[in-house]
A and B are shown apart, each in its own frame.
Chain A
C-alpha cells in the first residue's frame, strides 16, 4: 500500500540532524497549556502544597466523553506527507512509542484510506450478501447486532508496514518504521454465521469483500478463511468502530494483511474463483528480484519492534536500571517468545512476555537490565508458536530482494547513544 513506487516524488529538503532537544522528550509539545511541561514548579512540590490539592476541579459530566490529560495532547497519529499525493489516499501511523500493553487505544489506530473517511449514517447502512448462495440477503446494522457475537483481540498490520525500509534505514521512529499496526478487541459476528444464513452453494470457493467508501475497496477472500476465523465486526475495544476504522461495520481477517480488512463493508459476493482486483494485482503482490511476483501473500509473518528505547522515546537517565519494552505479533498464531540483543545480534536473551498472549494479537514484552551508559545496538526477535523465527533484514533481502515493498518483517536495529538518543540504523 503506502507504495513509494507510484511515480517521481520530490524528497523533502534534508532536515537538520536529530535535535538535541528530542532527548529531552518535550520538543513536540504545542500549545500554551504545555509550556510548563518539562519544567518543574517548586510551588507544587513538598513541603509546599499544590493548587490541585486545595481547589475543586471539574465536576462530573463536564467531560461527558473523556479524553487523555492535556499534558498528553502531543500524542497522536502522524503522517509522512511526502509519501502520497493526496491525504485522502494516504496513511497515518500509530504512535507505538507512546503506548504500552497489548491494546491500541481507538483514537490512535493507524489509518489507511483510499478515498478519505466515509461518514455513514447507521440507519442507512446495508450489507448485501449474494452470489453463489441459496438466498441473497440484505442486513441492517440492527440485524447484525442481533446475531450471536464474539470478542477477540487481533493485530491488524498493513502489508506495507516497514515498506520504506527495504533498501535501508530511512525513518527515525518506530511510529514511522512500524506504526502501521494496531491491536484492538473486536466485537463481531463470525462471517460463517452470515454465510450460513444465506446458504453457500457447493461450488463456492471465494468471497469478494467490498467497502462502501468512494474507493469501493475490494479483496477476494478464500472461503476457507471465511469459515475459519473471519469476523464481521462493529465494535473496537467496546466502542462502536470509529469512522476512520470503518464505522459501522468492517471485516476482521485475523493474521492477514490489513488491506483485506475491508472497512465500511457493504457487500459480500460468493464466487468460485478470485476476482484479481487492483488491490491484489497492482498492489499487495510482492515483486521479487527476478521480476516475478508472489500473489495472495495474505499471512503476516512474525515480527517485533522495540518501542522504548526508540528514536522518539530516548532514554532520559545516564545509566542504571532500564526497562526495554516492545511489541511482537504473528499472523500464524501466538507469540511463543521474544529474544532481545544489546549488541546488534551477536548474543540474545529471552525477554519477558507480560499480559495476555492471544492468538494473532500483539504481545507485549519487557527486558529489564542495568545499562552501563555505553552505546548499545538494540534488537528484538519474535518466535511464534509454529517455530517461525523473525529473520534479519539481510536474510530477508537474500530471499526477496529489495523491490517487494510489502511484508518486510526483518529485525529492526536501534542504536542507543551514550547521551540517551536513539537512532534507526542497519548493522553488519
Chain B
C-alpha cells in the first residue's frame, strides 16, 4: 500500500481526482503516452441519476455502527423455527454443520491452538456482519428471500447458538442491535506486514552457500496423497 499512500487523502473532491493521474492543465506534458491516465478533467455527462427507489431496492449493506439496519424485529424463539426449516439442513441443528457445509457456531478458545475453529462466536468481530451476510447470501440457493423480520429473528437465533444472546425472548431490532457485541472484536488489527515483516526486504539476497549442508527432503506431498486424479473435474471441450 505504501505507493498508493502517496496520494494524499485530503481534499478528495474534483481537484484531487484530477491530480491523481490526470493531465494537469498548464503542466508540461512529459509523461510517456502509455502512462498517461485516461481520466478527463471535465465531467463526461454519462449515466443518469439513480432514483431513491432504485437505491432502496439494492442497498442492503449493514455496517457495525448500525448504518443500513432495516426496519423490523424478531426474537430468538421466532428465529429458531426459521433456522430449523431454512438453515439447519446445511449448518446443523446447533450450527455444528451437517456434513461438509460451513459451521456457524462453536470453536471458542480454539484460535491460538493448532486446530482453530473460526465461527461467528469464536472469531467474527461484528454482529452486523452476520446480519448483512445472511441478508445478501443466505439461504444458499435462495438468497434475498427473507423478510426483514425473519432476518432479525434468524440472526438472533444464530447469535443464540453462539452464546452471544442467552435469553430466548430477546428481540433483535435496530434499537437492541447495539447491545450485541462479539468477544473477538479486539483481536483484529490492520495489516502491518511492511513493518512486522521488514526482514523480507533485503538489499542483497544470498546467492551462494545460503544454508548449511545439503538440503534434505523433510516432507512430501506423496505421503498424504490428496492430488486429484487426472481427468477429474469439469470437462473442457
Contact = CB atoms under 8 A, between A and B. Distances in A.
Contacts of B216: 427-428
B228 A80 contact: yes
Interface stretch (A12-20, A35-43, A45-53): A12-20
B71 interface: no
Interface stretch (B1-9, B77-85, B170-178): B1-9
B86 interface: no
Given A92-B234, A147-B46, A391-B200, A136 B220 contact: no
A187 B235 CA distance: 29
A287 interface: yes
A216 B60 contact: yes
B204 to A, nearest CB: 9
A120 interface: no
A290 interface: yes
Contact of B1 (A208, A277, A298): A298
Contacts of A298: 1, 191
A162 B65 CA distance: 35
A196 B206 CA distance: 47
Nearest to A391: B200
A348 B208 contact: yes
B47 A427 contact: no
Interface stretch (B24-32, B33-41, B155-163): B33-41
B218 interface: yes
A80 B100 CA distance: 14
Contacts of A275: 61, 63, 132
B188 A295 contact: yes
Interface in A267-318: 267, 269, 271, 273, 275-278, 281-282, 285, 287, 289-299, 301, 311
Contact of A425 (B44, B129, B132, B219): B219
Contacts of B49: 135-138
Interface in A81-134: 81-82, 84-86, 88-89, 92, 107, 114-115, 128-130
Interface string A210-233: 100011101000111101110000
A68 to B, nearest CB: 9
Contact of B218 (A107, A294, A428): A428
A201 to B, nearest CB: 8
Most A C-beta atoms less than 10 A away, residue of B58, B67, B114, B227: B227
Contacts of A201: 12-13
Interface string B203-237: 10111111101111111111011111111111111
Interface residues of B, number: 111
Contacts of B117: 5
Contacts of A129: 47, 50
Contact of A137 (B50, B58, B129, B141): B50
A292 B191 CA distance: 12
Contacts of B12: 200-202, 204, 223, 227
A69 interface: no
Contacts of A89: 140
A85 B92 CA distance: 14
B190 A423 contact: no
Given A149-B38, A193-B38, A9 B61 contact: no
A135 B2 CA distance: 31
Contacts of A80: 226, 228
A22 to B, nearest CB: 8
A12 B226 contact: yes
A7 B206 CA distance: 41
A319 interface: no
Contacts of A150: 37-38
Contacts of B148: none
A281 B136 CA distance: 16
B20 interface: yes
A11 B112 contact: no
B94 interface: no
Nearest to B212: A346
Contacts of B229: 15
Contacts of A332: 2-3
A190 B124 contact: no
Given A292-B188, A347-B208, A196 B39 contact: yes
A29 B190 CA distance: 47
A189 B37 CA distance: 10
Nearest to A135: B49
10 contacts: A15-B227, A128-B58, A147-B46, A169-B220, A170-B221, A296-B191, A298-B191, A389-B200, A425-B219, A426-B220
8 closest Cβ pairs, A-B complex: A344-B215, A76-B236, A291-B112, A28-B230, A216-B136, A78-B233, A291-B111, A424-B221
Given A76-B233, A218-B61, 14 more contacts: A8-B100, A11-B226, A17-B225, A86-B140, A146-B46, A148-B40, A172-B225, A173-B227, A275-B132, A278-B132, A281-B123, A293-B188, A299-B1, A348-B206
Interface of B: 1-5, 7, 9, 11-14, 16-18, 20-21, 37-40, 43-50, 54-55, 58-61, 63-65, 67, 90, 97, 99-103, 111-112, 114, 116-118, 120, 123-126, 128-130, 132-133, 136-137, 140-141, 143-144, 187-193, 196-197, 200-203, 205-211, 213-222, 224-237
